């Protein structure tokens, strides 16, 4: 019997071959040579790539035997995950391979910007010995603000603490006790902006974080601030940063990522107080070897039909057929839960009720946590690291399985307790022969809504005219309502409008709705798969 073909389309660490072992026929192709790649694809059971190979619908159609695409790195910008899912092809990556390398590059950029290493080096190359011109700044006894206290943020905080720095952080999804364990004081974003001498960004790129550090924020900072972004481009508004650097409102910047890459024509590169690298966060020998070994293990598991923890689209392994359709719904419920909560929950219960509770539903707990943290941490969330992320943030997790479900054949609920004791909940089910996903409960209100890409939830005091006010604002903003549900606890009591819309609701429109209906809470949810998300 012939061995499965593993096609390697980019240069990988030699350790990958050793990890794959003798059970596979390993072939190599230049992934940048499209014709050669398409010619080699039909016999491949697995495809290993890095960043040079584009995996799209055309390539997937040319590879009928393909079981798994493995990206030896974190980002999936060049892999069409949706097309792979539709083709039944698993996509895996190496979510933890570059965390140390990214943290070290962050520190390197901070030091380089603080000590003016880039312009000093350039001057010396020109034959200029300008010691007095390049006067730098020490990190010792300065305050550094970490925006996003995920795994990389924590590693950066630990390394900068060793420089004798005072470390503060902003992350609404991390509890103060967890931050204190790593020697970090949590503050709000405004306080961080106003108190930081140095600042480093470690957030995922989502609809909520794009432009988070913009013109208004950069008018709050100290004029000697050194700002570093080695996370994702677009979180720092580059136009606003350029103006702040030119006007002396920001002292220096260290950048490894840009909103549009390659960024060879960025005006930021013209400034002497900017040190920049071409997205080198994962570009170390160690990170590449870790990534290669990680995806090689995933390929072996996938081709053996076993559980693949780092699958980003299709969970492998022995999962009951009745449970499997609930995985994508549960992930969406997790993302909706986080948007509704707006902060880390102290306790999260994953309640699985109905017929599927007779099966092993542990994987639904993992799917829920994967969704809960998908939009709130910079690193890629998988079935393996989701429980660790919950533990790091002090979130207790409990799985409740009960075959009794009074109103639905099967019901999945995420219920959480926040720091102030308040409760957040969202429930979903699958209906009909085609197993259509439906949201059926939000914070105690009964609804019936399809979890489309763009959702919004407004809570307010029940009174006439409120639904019309919401519609008027959205109409003026050019946002089309696809579905709407209105629910209330009692006449004149608290009420909820739940919407599915065709496009993201602009922030200004959300603020206008909040004022127009005097809302208790306004929450927008984006369930799209942003390819720029790490």
Catalytic (active-site) positions: 232, 261, 279
Find the DSSP H helices in 127-224: 151-161, 176-181, 189-195, 215-218
Q: d(Cα 226, Cα 111) in Å, to the nearest integer?
A: 9
Coil/strand/helix, residue 331: helix
Is 422 exposed, middle or buried (CB count within 10 Å of its CB: 0-12, 13-18, 19+)? exposed
Contact 403, 355 (CB under 8 A): yes
Neighbours of 374 (CB within 10 A): 21
Contact 20, 26 (CB under 8 A): yes
Residue with tokens 């909040």: 514
What the block records as the tokens of 35 is 């014709």
Q: d(Cα 526, Cα 376) in Å, to the nearest integer?
A: 12
Contact 174, 149 (CB under 8 A): yes
Q: d(Cα 419, Cα 260) in Å, to the nearest integer?
A: 38
Q: d(Cα 319, Cα 498) in Å, to the nearest integer?
A: 32
Among 179, 185, 150, 181, smallest CA distance to 165 is for 185
């Amino acid at each position: 019997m012939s061995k499965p073909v593993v096609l390697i389309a980019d240069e990988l660490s030699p350790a990958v071959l050793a990890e794959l072992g003798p059970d596979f026929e390993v072939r190599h192709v230049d992934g940048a040579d499209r014709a050669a790649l398409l010619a080699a694809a039909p016999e491949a059971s697995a495809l290993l790539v890095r960043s040079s190979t584009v995996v799209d619908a055309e390539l997937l159609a040319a590879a009928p035997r393909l079981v798994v695409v493995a990206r030896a790195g974190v980002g999936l910008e060049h892999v069409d995950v949706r097309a792979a899912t539709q083709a039944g092809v698993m996509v895996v990556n190496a979510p933890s391979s570059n965390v140390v390398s990214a943290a070290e590059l962050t520190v390197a950029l901070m030091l380089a910007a603080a000590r003016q290493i880039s312009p000093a080096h350039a001057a010396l190359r020109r034959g200029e010995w300008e010691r007095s011109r390049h006067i730098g700044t020490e990190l010792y006894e300065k305050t550094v603000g970490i925006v996003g206290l995920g795994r990389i943020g924590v590693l950066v905080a630990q390394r900068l603490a060793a420089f004798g720095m005072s470390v503060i952080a902003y992350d609404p999804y991390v509890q103060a006790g967890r931050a204190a364990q790593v020697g970090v004081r949590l503050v709000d974003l405004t306080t961080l902006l106003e108190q930081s001498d140095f600042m480093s960004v470690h957030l995922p790129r989502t609809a909520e974080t794009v432009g988070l550090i913009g013109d208004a924020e950069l008018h709050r900072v100290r004029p000697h601030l050194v700002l570093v972004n080695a996370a994702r481009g677009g979180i720092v508004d580059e136009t606003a940063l350029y103006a702040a650097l030119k006007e002396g409102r920001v002292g220096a910047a260290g950048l490894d990522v840009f909103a549009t890459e390659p960024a060879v024509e960025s005006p930021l590169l013209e400034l002497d107080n900017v040190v920049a690298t071409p997205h080198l966060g994962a570009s170390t020998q160690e990170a590449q070897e870790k990534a290669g070994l990680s995806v090689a293990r995933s390929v072996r598991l996938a081709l053996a039909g076993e559980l693949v923890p780092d699958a980003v689209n299709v969970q492998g392994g022995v999962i009951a057929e009745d449970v499997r359709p609930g995985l994508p719904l549960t992930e969406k419920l997790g993302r909706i839960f986080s948007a509704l909560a707006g902060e880390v929950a102290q306790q999260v219960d994953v309640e699985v009720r109905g017929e599927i509770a007779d099966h092993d539903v542990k994987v639904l707990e993992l799917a829920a946590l994967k969704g809960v943290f998908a939009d709130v941490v910079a690193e890629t969330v998988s079935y393996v690291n989701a429980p660790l992320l919950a533990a790091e943030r002090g979130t207790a997790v409990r799985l409740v399985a009960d075959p009794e479900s009074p109103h639905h054949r099967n019901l999945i609920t995420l219920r959480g307790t926040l720091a102030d004791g308040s409760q957040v909940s969202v429930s979903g089910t699958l209906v009909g022969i085609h197993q259509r996903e439906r949201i059926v409960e939000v914070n105690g209100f009964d609804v019936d809504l399809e979890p489309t890409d763009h959702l919004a939830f407004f809570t307010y005091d029940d009174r006439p005219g409120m639904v019309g006010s919401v519609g008027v604002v959205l109409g003026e903003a050019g946002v089309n309502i696809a579905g709407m549900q209105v629910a209330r606890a009692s006449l004149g009591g608290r009420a909820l409008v739940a919407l599915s819309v065709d496009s993201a609701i602009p922030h200004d429109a959300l603020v206008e709705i909040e004022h127009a209906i005097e809302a208790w809470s306004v929450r927008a949810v984006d369930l799209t798969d942003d390819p720029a998300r790490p």
